[in-house]
């Protein structure tokens, strides 16, 4: 169903039709998503745009379970997503941004170490900034049985091997064969190389690095 209406009216219409598990997508390329008004100075939405409603898909964000899918990829792949939703995948960060941009979203990370220890890290608030801000991470409210190794990355932009937005003098994504909200460089590296046994691997931790054989990131509406 397509609407020609204001941004705020369209959200109400979609929710009325498809319940709360609904997001508004812009059916017209000329329409600018309204969060950009605050996230990206200089970009303004139109008062009236064309919208359609779309049911939310699953809330999975990322999964690593074997080496079948190469995660050492460039910016475009991380923005748009890759892999198999039933296996190893990264669902595009642009879609995650659209889903979590209004807040009220929590993140759960489930992990299994190579020693078969199961770990959970939950964050009661998760948001990624807009594309013009390189999907800057906003995360708070840790709980779980894993050491908190993600809050360190709070307020950092996303980096890939071909897009260095980190705070290190080299490119962390290239140094550690991943793509992440690197700082200088990481306390977690969940998009690292599945077969690497040390720093370039799928790692949770800084001084006490845990190598993982499984990781899964999920978003959930509060
Ligand atoms: Ca750098």
Q: What angle do CA 208, 209, 213 make, to 5 degrees?
A: 140
pLDDT given for residue 85 in this prediction: 81
Higher pLDDT, 17 or 217: 217
pLDDT score of 33 more than 80: no
- Sign of the Cα torsion 92, 138, 126, 31 reads negative
CA 130 – ligand 1 centroid, Å: 20
Residue 119 and residue 145 in contact, taking contact as beta carbons nearer than 8 Å: yes
pLDDT given for residue 9 in this prediction: 52
CA 174 – ligand 1 centroid, Å: 10
Give 123's DSSP letter: E
Tens digits of per-residue pLDDT, 35-71? 332 334 443 344 344 554 544 444 788 999 999 999 9
Average the pLDDT over 95-111 and give the result.
83
pLDDT score of 127 more than 80: yes
Average the pLDDT over 100-127 and give the result.
90
Q: What is the pTM of this model?
A: 0.75
CA 62 – ligand 1 centroid, Å: 24
Q: Determine whether 52 is exposed, middle or buried from the number of CB atoms within 10 Å of its CB (0-12, 13-18, 19+).
A: middle
pLDDT given for residue 16 in this prediction: 56
CA 149 – ligand 1 centroid, Å: 20
pLDDT given for residue 36 in this prediction: 30
Average the pLDDT over 23-43 and give the result.
38
pLDDT given for residue 216 in this prediction: 94
Least confident of 20-24, 55-59, 123-127: 20-24
Average the pLDDT over 9-32 and give the result.
46
Least confident of 2-16, 26-40, 122-136, 188-202: 26-40
CA 80 – ligand 1 centroid, Å: 23
CA 4 – ligand 1 centroid, Å: 43
Q: Buried b vs exposed e over 204-221: b needs ≥16 C-beta within 10 Å?
A: bbeeebbbbbbbbbbbee
pLDDT given for residue 105 in this prediction: 86
CA 9 – ligand 1 centroid, Å: 42
pLDDT given for residue 128 in this prediction: 86
CA 186 – ligand 1 centroid, Å: 12
């Amino acid at each position: 169903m397509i609407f020609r209406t204001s941004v705020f009216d369209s959200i109400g219409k979609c929710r009325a039709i498809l319940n709360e598990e609904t997001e508004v997508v812009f059916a017209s390329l000329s329409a600018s998503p309204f969060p950009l008004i605050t996230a990206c100075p200089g970009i303004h939405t139109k008062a009236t745009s064309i919208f359609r409603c779309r049911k939310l898909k699953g809330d999975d964000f990322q999964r690593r379970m074997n080496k079948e899918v190469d995660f050492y990829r460039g910016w475009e792949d991380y923005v748009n997503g890759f892999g198999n939703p039933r296996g190893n995948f990264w669902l595009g960060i642009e879609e995650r941004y659209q889903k979590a941009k209004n807040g009220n979203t929590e993140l759960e990370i489930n992990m299994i170490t190579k020693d078969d220890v199961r770990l959970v890290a939950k964050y009661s608030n998760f948001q990624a900034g807009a594309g013009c801000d390189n999907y800057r991470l906003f995360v708070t409210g840790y709980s779980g049985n894993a050491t908190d190794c993600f809050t360190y990355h709070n307020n950092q932009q996303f980096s890939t091997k071909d897009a260095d937005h980190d705070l290190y003098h080299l490119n962390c994504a290239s140094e550690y064969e991943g793509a992440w909200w690197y700082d200088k460089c990481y306390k977690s590296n969940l998009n690292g190389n599945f077969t690497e046994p040390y720093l370039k691997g799928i790692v949770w931790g800084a001084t006490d690095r845990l190598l993982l054989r499984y990781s899964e990131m999920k978003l959930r509406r509060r």
